[in-house]
Chain A
Amino acid sequence: MLEQHYRHLQHLEAAINACALSVNLDAAECITTLNPRMANALQQPPELISGRYFRELLLPADETQWARIWQQLRTGQSIQEQICFLLHGNTQLWLEAAIHPVMGNDGQLTGCLLIGIDITDRKLPELRVMEDEQYFRQILENLPIGLQQFTPEGVSVEMNSRQRQIWGAQHAFLGDAEYKWLQDPFYRLNGLARMFEEARDTGKTLKREILLNYAEKNYGNVTRLFPLYYEATIFPVTDRHSRMANYFLILDDITEKKVAEISLQKSERLLDNIIENLPIGYIQFDNFGFIRRINQTQRFFFNSPHPAARRNFNVMNDELATRFELDKLFLQALEEGNPLRVEKKIDFSQDERWTTVGREVYLDLTVFPVIEPVDKEMIVVALVNDITDKKMQELENVKNQEFLLQTGDIGKIGGWEMDLETERVRWSYQSYKIHDCEPDTPINYEKAMRFFSPESQPVLEGLVKQCIETGKTFDAELTLISAKQQTKRVRCIGQPGYTNGKRTRIFGVVQDVTEQSAIEEALTRNTELMRLFFDTVDMGYAAMEKDGKLNFLNQKAEKMIGQKVEMGSNIFEVFPRLSGTVFYARLQECIQQRQSQSFGIYFSKPDKWYDFLLTPMQDGGISVFMRDITESRKMQKELRKANDQLSNLNKNLVNQNKQLEDFAHITSHNLRAPIANLRALMQMHNEASSQQERELYLGMLHEVIKKIDETLNDLVEVVQIRKDVNVEKEKLLFAERVQKVKDILLVDIETSNIKITYDFEQAPQIEYPRVYLDSILQNFITNAIRYRSPEREPELHLQTWRENDNIVLTVQDNGIGIDMERFGNKLFGFRKTFHRNKDAKGIGLFITKTQVEAMGGSIRAESRPGQGTKFIITFRPE
């Protein structure tokens, strides 16, 4: 039994020796026995170790622990602890040790048995981890950013000092263990709670900017609140079982950065806003020439078909840009570093890819380089101002001026203008020429007056005075003595000019009519001579009653009539060729006005040109002087032609004045009215209180604008006609043109069932601008259809004939007619209507009249309500 027990002990010892180190110490801590493992660990042979002081070989690392262990041993307690020893004073040896006290009979400690398992290999990494953890803890604790650990339920587990500082000592996180911050409305509002939940639900790391709270700052007695911005990061930490057990929140103060950013954004937004709403175009290029941005005005201007296509636009290689040398401008701005300002003409119709401008425009370009404040990159900005309208106006003005100058030269017509306040007089170049003065010599009223002859001066002064006082226009022929002492006959036309309804100036024209007067005088003298010598010169003479009954004829007259004439017979009977000529009309004029009439008639049958002079006599009879002027016809014709030209100019002059008046009238009535509406509507719109109301006014505004646009278009058309005095003429057959117009109006003609007839035999053709003739004919046919009478089949008859050198066209319909007494004076006016017809715009006859008059002709109408209308157009041949 004992032996068995002993064997068992031996086995135990062998087992211990196989895995553990063991040593026996006496009470003085000297080694008595040790097993080989221990000797091996101490790296000494066992015989050298025995009896040595244990501490010399294995120094306990923790003396306090060691002292405590011995104290416990002395009381008889066994010890089981991890103990660290230092081998040779430095190498760590960790033992999982069990120490048993050996007590003497006296109850005193006599020694102890230490059995230890070497755990150094396991203990050292464990210690390192612990050390590391402490180290990191310390770092985390002292990090300049806040760090906080939460459970998935949002319970705060731990936080570092910075985080405590961020929350503030008063915060519920620090005082209230039951604090449920996820339900706190403040954190719900600023998004932090939601962010936490999101990170928890998705398992992702989230980073956001959060307005965490507000800081108070006191300035004297003013307290201001400053927002405090933090960058919050929330991330899960997965534990060993892959369950997300903990969540960390990192808070980083970004207030300063954020505030700076916000103020930058603010100023950027402001600048952005300004740029976007600049009334001129803004284009920003990067330093490679790519467009970076374009503001609203410019976008509107370009009206790109594909705005995205602009991204590929580069000013350095775009075809259109290089063609108009915009690339050079860009480079110049970059290189010189200075703003450039140029006017450029660019034909945008050359490009369809990124703009629909589609026409030639003049641009006022300001190009300058800037360093972009954020990216510190060089950019180039171009400010674009569309000055096409201004430029066109300038060009138009130059053209008009040239045109006026030209007309002035041809007709020897000068312009003048006098400011009533300063009495300063302005002359056109031609006016200086008429006065034989150096151009640009300063002129005033007194100086201008001195040019006139002693007889003319008071007349003109009177007229000017009257014009100033009553606004009466004047037109007088006066004598002028030029600076070169030449006596000239001039025609002076003047009219008042108004500013704000007040007469502020007089303006008009002065025309040198010296030549014209000379010819007129010559003609008068001729007549007198004829009268004196009618008996002796080769001239026919007849005396007759007002009805044409002949009382006397001289031989020459009989010869010219071509037959023997009995006294008492009627001139129209014996001289039938007179019928259909102007003779009868001029005779009536002579009788009514009691004035001599002189005219020529061409008789095609004997191919003779006769000159007639009808003179009323004291006794009520009429003297007829006839002269065969066939021989001198050519010469005479040329003289008359010259005369005609002059009187034509005269007429043009009158026409010009008339047109000026017309336009003044049109502007006053037809443009002021809608503009007055615009002003009223704008005011109403601005004062309107509701959106609905404003929309109503906007709708009305649109209507008014549409109307103005129509009126302007009509005016432009008329101005175009009046300006195009040199429009090309061609030989036109009336029948052909009527057919053409009928083709155009086919549908209207068929629907209205109008019967159109014509007789162009007497004057089948005319030399006239084709567009005008077509327009005139179309207008009359349209009018005849539009104003047809519902009581009868509509009919329209056109007829032409020659009257002297003129061609007359009559257009007669059987429509509803016009009350001429009432509306006659307005018939051809601009935008005048007399019917309750919705289609009537009152523009057709105005344009027709313009087209007729532009070519020197005239138009009038005869009509009775209910009985149709007859238009009579007299075309002047050239």
Chain B
Amino acid sequence: MKLINMIFIVDDDPIHQQIAKIMIERQGICTNIRVFSDAQDVLDHIRQHADKVDELPDLILLDLNMPIMDGWEFLDEYSVFHDQLPKQIRIFVLTSSIDEKDKERVRHYPVVNGYLTKPLSKEIIEHLS
């Protein structure tokens, strides 16, 4: 098992934020977990710290349905500048949608490493590390 330095959980559902945080902490694969309710905040964070490797997450769990900026918009914007970042951030879409269309659409984003459906489970978290 490889330890992950920093994980960002991006989800507007506060309950899911808590669940994901607790489960990941339980599993002990990561100690530094941050939660965001708005994808815009994540984008801002990454842009601001684009030159500081330590401030960038190693992994992002991204929800699709969110107010203001949703997962799709985030992916669109992120795709534009991700190759200028000093490290590769792994992105997993974590959504409650089981719609094939969403899955197919996610496949078109090379920056996404995987499509996960809620609920989060031990097996999924193990898979992440």
A672-B98, A677-B119, A680-B118 known; A832-B67 Cβ under 8 A: yes
Q: How far is the CA of A822 from the CA of B76 in the complex (A)?
A: 13
Known A-B contacts A680-B119, A681-B19, A700-B18; A669 and B67 likewise in contact (beta carbons under 8 Å):
no
Complex CA distance for A876 and B65, rounded to whole angstroms: 34
Bound CA–CA A662/B127 (angstroms): 33
**CB proximity to B under 8 Å, residues A666-681:** 668-669, 672-674, 676-677, 679-681
Please indicate the chain A residues that have their CB under 8 angstroms from the CB of B96 in the complex.
668-669, 672-673, 676
Nearest-Cβ distance from residue A810 to partner chain B, whole angstroms:
26
Knowing A668-B96, A684-B23, say if A673 contacts B16 (CB, 8 Å). Answer: yes
CB distance from A830 to the nearest CB of B (A): 11
Q: Is B121 an interface residue (CB 8 A)?
A: yes
Q: Are B18 and A676 in contact (CB under 8 A)?
A: no
A241 at the binding interface (Cβ < 8 Å): no
- CA separation between A822 and B67, bound complex, in Å? 11
A634 within 8 A of B: no
Q: Do the beta carbons of A668 and B97 come within 8 Å of each other?
A: yes
| Chain A 263-304 per-residue mask, 1 if CB under 8 angstroms from chain B, else 0 | 000000000000000000000000000000000000000000
Instruction: Say yes or no for B100: interface residue by CB 8 A criterion.
Output: yes
Are B15 and A703 closer than 8 Å at their CB atoms? yes
Q: Does B33 reach chain A (CB closer than 8 Å)?
A: no
Q: For the complex, is A328 an interface residue (Cβ under 8 Å from B)?
A: no
A776 to chain B, nearest CB (A): 23
Q: Are A836 and B65 in contact (CB under 8 A)?
A: no
The chain A residue sitting closest to B69, CB to CB, is: A822
Interface size on B, residues (CB 8 A): 23
Contact present for A668 and B99 (CB under 8 Å): yes
What chain B residues lie within 8 Å of A76 (beta carbons)?
none
A498 to B22, CA, bound (A): 33
Q: Which residues of A contact B18 (CB under 8 A)?
A: 700
Residues from chain B with a CB closer than 8 A to the CB of A203 are: none
Do B121 and A680 touch across chains, with their CB atoms under 8 A apart?
yes
- In the bound complex, how far is the Cα of B15 from the Cα of A680, in angstroms? 11
Cα(A842)–Cα(B119), bound, Å: 23
What is the bound-complex CA distance between A695 and B117, given in angstroms?
26
**Contact of A684 with B19 at beta-carbon distance under 8 Å, contacts A676-B119, A834-B68 already known:** yes
Interface of A is mostly: helix
Residues B68 and A677 in contact, CB atoms below 8 Å apart: no
Question: Across the interface, which residues of A come within 8 angstroms of B98, CB to CB?
Answer: 501, 668, 672
Instruction: Please encode chain A, from 830 to 853, with 1 for each CB lying within 8 Å of some chain B CB and 0 for all others.
Output: 001111100010100000000000
Separation of A840 and B66 alpha carbons in the complex (Å): 13
A556 and B73 CA atoms in complex are apart in Å by: 59
Which residues from chain A contact B26 at a C-beta distance below 8 Å? 684
Q: Is the CB of A677 within 8 A of B97?
A: no
Q: Are B19 and A680 in contact (CB under 8 A)?
A: yes
A649 at the interface (CB under 8 A from B): no
Residues of A within 8 A of B118 (CB): 672-673, 676-677, 680
A707: chain B residues at CB < 8 Å are: 15
A contact residues around B15 at 8 Å (CB): 674, 677, 681, 700, 703-704, 707
Residues from chain A with a CB closer than 8 A to the CB of B100 are 471, 498, 501
Interface residue A665 (Cβ < 8 Å from any Cβ of B): yes
Q: Which residues of A contact B68 (CB under 8 A)?
A: 834-836
Q: Contacts A668-B98, A672-B118 given: A680-B65 contact, CB under 8 Å?
A: no
A43: B residues at CB distance < 8 A? none
A684 near B22 with CB under 8 A, answer yes
A833, B67: Cβ atoms closer than 8 Å: yes
Interface string of A683-706 (1 = CB under 8 A from B): 110000000000000001001100
Chain B residues with CB under 8 A of A674 = 15
A681 to B18, CA, bound (A): 10
Residue in A closest to B20 when the chains form the complex, CB atoms? A680
Cα(A674)–Cα(B119), bound, Å: 9
B6 within 8 A of A: no
**Chain B: CB-nearest residue to A704:** B15
Separation of A331 and B120 alpha carbons in the complex (Å)? 56
* Chain B residues closer than 8 Å to A680, beta-carbon distance: 19, 23, 118-121
Query: Would you call B13 an interface residue if the criterion is a C-beta within 8 Å of the partner chain's C-beta atoms?
Result: yes
A840 to B22, CA, bound (A): 28
In the complex, which residues of chain B have a beta carbon less than 8 angstroms from the beta carbon of A676? 16, 96, 117-119
For window 71-100 of chain B, which residues contact chain A by CB distance below 8 Å? 73, 96-100
Closest chain B residue, CB of each to CB of A500:
B98
Closest Cβ neighbor of A701 among chain B residues: B15
**Cα–Cα, bound, A833→B65 (Å):** 10
Q: For residue B65, which residues in chain A have a CB less than 8 angstroms away from its CB?
A: 669, 673
| B16 contact set on A, CB distance < 8 A | 673, 676-677
Complex CA gap A822/B39 in Å reads 14
- The reply to whether B13 and A673 form a contact with Cβ atoms under 8 Å apart is yes
Contact of B121 among A668, A683, A700, A832 (CB under 8 A): A683
**Chain A residues closer than 8 Å to B117, beta-carbon distance:** 676
CB distance from B124 to the nearest CB of A (A): 10
- Cα–Cα, bound, A280→B67 (Å): 44
Chain B residues, Cβ within 8 Å of A832:
67
**Shortest Cβ distance from residue B16 to the other chain A in the assembled complex, whole angstroms:** 6
C-beta contact mask, B95-126 vs A, less than 8 Å → 1, else 0? 01111100000000000000001111100000
Contact partners of A834 in chain B: CB under 8 A = 67-68
| Interchain nearest-CB distance for B78 vs A (Å) | 16
B64 to chain A: closest residue by CB: A669
CA distance A834 to B121 in the complex (A): 30
User: Min CB distance, A367 to chain B, in Å?
Assistant: 44
Give the residues in chain A near B22, CB-CB below 8 Å.
684
A211 → chain B closest CB, angstroms: 49
Most B CB contacts (10 A, CB to CB) among A668, A673, A679 go to: A673
Distance between Cα atoms of A393 and B19 in the complex (Å): 34
Residue of B nearest to A498 (CB): B100
Query: Of A498, A672, A700, A835, which is within 8 A of B67 by CB?
Result: A835
**Alpha-carbon distance between A679 and B16 when the two chains are bound, in angstroms:** 11
| Contact status B67-A677, CB under 8 Å | no
- Write the chain B residue with the least CB distance to A678: B119
Contact call B97/A672, Cβ cutoff below 8 A: yes
B46-67 CB contacts (< 8 Å) to partner A: 65, 67
| Per-position binary interface string of chain A over residues 807-841, scored 1 when its CB falls under 8 Å from any chain B CB and 0 otherwise | 00000000000000010000000001111100010
Expressed in whole angstroms, the Cα–Cα distance for A707 and B117 within the complex equals: 20
**Bitwise interface map of B from 4 to 19 toward A, beta carbon under 8 Å scored 1, else 0:** 0000000001011011
Nearest opposing residue in chain B for A700, CB measure: B15
> For residue A833, which residues in chain B have a CB less than 8 angstroms away from its CB?
67
- Assembled-state Cα–Cα distance A836/B121 (Å): 30
- Residues of B14-37 at the interface with A, using a CB-CB cut-off of 8 Å, are 15-16, 18-19, 22-23, 26
Q: How far is the CB of A530 from chain B (nearest CB, A)?
A: 46
A665: chain B residues within 8 A (beta carbon): 99
List of A residues within 8 angstroms of B38 by Cβ: 836
Contact B97 A669 (CB under 8 A): yes
Give Cα A704 to B22, complex, Å. Answer: 16
Which residues from B are CB-within-8-Å of A672?
96-98, 118
Point out the residues of chain B lying under 8 angstroms from A669, CB to CB.
Answer: 65, 96-97
Q: Which residue of A lies closest to B70 (CB)?
A: A826
Bound complex: CA A840 to CA B68 (Å) = 12
**Nearest residue in A to B73 (C-beta to C-beta)?**
A822
Identify the closest chain A residue to B22 (Cβ): A684
CB distance from A126 to the nearest CB of B (A): 92
Cα–Cα, bound, A840→B38 (Å): 15
Query: What are 22 of the A-B contact pairs (CB < 8 Å)?
Result: A498-B100, A501-B98, A668-B98, A669-B96, A672-B98, A673-B16, A673-B96, A676-B117, A676-B118, A680-B19, A680-B120, A681-B15, A683-B121, A684-B19, A684-B26, A703-B15, A822-B73, A832-B67, A834-B67, A835-B68, A836-B38, A836-B68
* Known pairs A673-B65, A677-B16, A842-B67 / 16 extra A-B pairs, C-beta < 8 Å: A668-B97, A669-B65, A672-B96, A672-B98, A676-B96, A676-B117, A676-B118, A677-B118, A680-B119, A680-B121, A684-B22, A684-B26, A700-B18, A832-B67, A835-B67, A840-B67
9 cross-chain pairs, A with B, having the tightest CB-CB distances, nearest first = A676-B118, A673-B96, A680-B119, A676-B119, A672-B96, A833-B67, A679-B119, A680-B19, A677-B15
